[in-house]
Structure 1
Amino acid sequence: MQAKYYSPSLRTIRRWIGKFTVMAIALLIGCYIYGAKIEPNWIEVVPIQLAIPNLTPAFNEFKIVQISDLHSSRFMPEKRLDNIIKLVNQQQADAITITGDIITKNNDFNARKLEEKLSKLISHEGNLAVLGNHDHWSQVTDKLKQVLVRSKITNLDNQVYVIERGTEKLAFAGLDDPYWGKPDLNRVITQLPHDSAAILLVHEPDYIEKSAKTHKFALQLSGHSHGGQIRIPFLDPLILPPGGRKYFVGLNQVEETVEYTNRGLGMTGLPIRFNSRPEITVFTLHTIT
């Protein structure tokens, strides 16, 4: 049998193909390790100084800590959740807000463990939450609501929570999930105190286009989009959920209302974060002078 002959140039090409294949495999493995093990634990605390209309002097420098999209499941290890609670408490919040998706659809959760963790959240004047789409898609929504009650977290289910300092007030309004819950914005608006700054908690950020038209809220806090969760640098996310496609990350303004979309702390779909670090947001509110 005659031996095969390869020209020097062909042998060089084959060697380079082999090298590039090894490099590509190594790069993919490295990206997976980073996205599955490193970035999900690399939590960013984002400080934001924010002046809002109608904020009275008694609430100047009021501090709100926002967390979102915990997605309690096997993708949220107990050690990571402990670290989240520790980081939140280090911020010494006046109020803590949780903007939905505390649990994940089709994933049961350990109610006792979740209650144990959430009950450790400490703020000066209230721990508040709204539910998101996964909280409603789950078969254990009622169990989650019981966990919130036992954890001393107020579920703002179309309700308003008013903090008073003397005669001055700051209102936190909460809307049930606009797409999969039973939202009642009119009911919320009727509960707002007159001439006081109001902050709306609602899971889906794109709802700002409706809430801003009411001219009742200085600030809307949302989550839902995970900031894209997996993002190719310099490009918009390839996949975004309904309700979180337009205002999918960071600060936005619609009419007179400022909206902020938190990148969240958990994951859905692929258990990977890439170029979209988990986030705890710390707002320090200021009066407009």
Structure 2
Amino acid sequence: MTGFLLAAVLLIAAAFLIVMMVRAAFANTVREEVLTFDDYPAQIDDLTIFFISDIHRRSIHDSIIHEAKGSADVVIIGGDLTEKGVPFSRVRENIKKLIEIAPIYFIWGNNDYEVDIQKLEELFREFDVTVLKNNSAFLPTFDNKIVLIGTDYPDTSDSMQAILYSIKKTAFRIVLSHSPDLAEKVTDSDGVPLILSGHTHGGQIRIFGMGPYEKGGIKEYQWTTLFVSNGYGTSLLPLRLGAPAETHLITVKKG
């Protein structure tokens, strides 16, 4: 009888844990962050970014769109919008929802290359998505004083530095890199105050606070600030533990 009770307790505990992991994997959270920089251009408005990364197989929930709509100046998709086996109808619907928030800027993630690139690029043209693939785009509504620099996957410091070389130093530079590893290669001469990344899913499943990757968040390097998202979707199993799904409203302003 004792053995039966123990087995029942373990079974209930396991079921409860799985339910919690599923809830974390399908969370629809918009986290608000404020980042201040001394070198943010004076006499322009604060920039608010809706940042979403690693959507993978998920359909974006309407509640996220409603919360971000009217608050963001731009939408940035930080890679892995999709992956092999995801219907293009779902990808199209996700882009259609995101464009309700603000103009979209996209960088490639590793899983995006698993699908028909031509079809994906057709969707980008349909919704006027700006694809940043080892190139840059100034934000016209900010008096062209803010520039987004998008790297391809895999991200390399050589590619980033080649783009930076052609951009005037007076512009506030935000680098979009699917992998956060690029932050370790930034130097003083690069003049990159902020990098936005995803890719790692915050470890996705963390046991006693430990996982294969660091949990998402803000990390200060000597020459840059790195912002890493846990991401919205999942890889392999639709389960999360200790690194719930998230999207972000990031306000960048002068310190």
Matching residue's letter, 1:287: K
* 1:102 alignment partner in structure 2: 81
**8 Å CA contact retained: 1:250, 1:260:** yes
1:65 aligns with 2:42: no
Q: What does residue range 87-166 of structure 1 map to in structure 2 within 5 Å?
A: 87=66, 89-90=68-69, 92-104=71-83, 107-122=84-99, 126-136=103-113, 138-165=114-141
| Inter-partner Cα distance in structure 1 for 2:70 and 2:142 | 25
Matching residue's letter, 1:40: A
**8 Å CA contact retained: 2:157, 2:182:** no
* 1:26 alignment partner in structure 2: 12
Bigger radius of gyration among the two: 1
Q: 1:50 to 1:123 in 2, by over 3 A?
A: farther
**How far apart are 1:47 and its partner, in Å?**
1.1
**How far apart are 1:165 and its partner, in Å?**
4.7
Superimposed CA distance per residue, residues 98-149 of structure 1 (whole angstroms, 9 cap, x where no aligned partner): 1111112xx233223322331232478631110111112x042332232222
Q: Secondary structure at the match of 1:119?
A: helix
Matching residue's letter, 1:16: T
Superimposed CA distance per residue, residues 3-30 of structure 1 (whole angstroms, 9 cap, x where no aligned partner): xxxxxxxxxxxx3332111100111112
Superimposed CA distance per residue, residues 20-78 of structure 1 (whole angstroms, 9 cap, x where no aligned partner): 11100111112112222x22232222111111242113434211111000003xxx2x4
RMSD: 2.5
* 1:35 alignment partner in structure 2: 21
Aligned length: 255
**Structure 1 vs Structure 2: percent identity of aligned residues?**
22
Superimposed CA distance per residue, residues 125-176 of structure 1 (whole angstroms, 9 cap, x where no aligned partner): 631110111112x042332232222222211001111013575510110000
* 2:178 alignment partner in structure 1: 203
Superimposed CA distance per residue, residues 258-284 of structure 1 (whole angstroms, 9 cap, x where no aligned partner): 001001000111121122111111111
| Inter-partner Cα distance in structure 1 for 2:56 and 2:76 | 15
1:269 aligns with 2:236: yes
**8 Å CA contact retained: 1:92, 1:123:** no
Q: 1:175 to 1:166 in 2, by over 3 A?
A: closer
* TM score, norm. by length of structure 1: 0.79
